[in-house]
Amino acid sequence: MNRNVGEIDRAVRIGAGAVAGLVSLAILADRIAAPDVLALLAGIAAVVLLATGYLSTCGLYAVLGVDTR
């Protein structure tokens, strides 16, 4: 798959992924009062954002023909 995520987009994805991961961990540690399913969703979002940011490739961008690189 070709790289289609630019540097600014990449930095935003990595930052947002880190925040989502921390929120997920905080929910699991009972630091934030929220349902456990929200921790799961935040964890999945974190993994997707961090992976697409690290790899500079987004499958949805490829399907839609978007290229921020």
pLDDT in tens, 20-64: 999 999 999 999 999 999 999 999 999 999 999 999 999 999 999
- pLDDT band at 1, cuts 50/70/90? confident
Enter the DSSP assignment of 13: H
The pTM is what? 0.90
Tokens representing residue 24 in the block = 């997920």
All structural domains of the chain with their residue ranges: 7-63
Tokens representing residue 5 in the block = 């995520």
57: exposed, middle or buried (C-beta count within 10 Å: 0-12, 13-18, 19+)?
middle
* Run of H or E residues at 52: helix 36-55
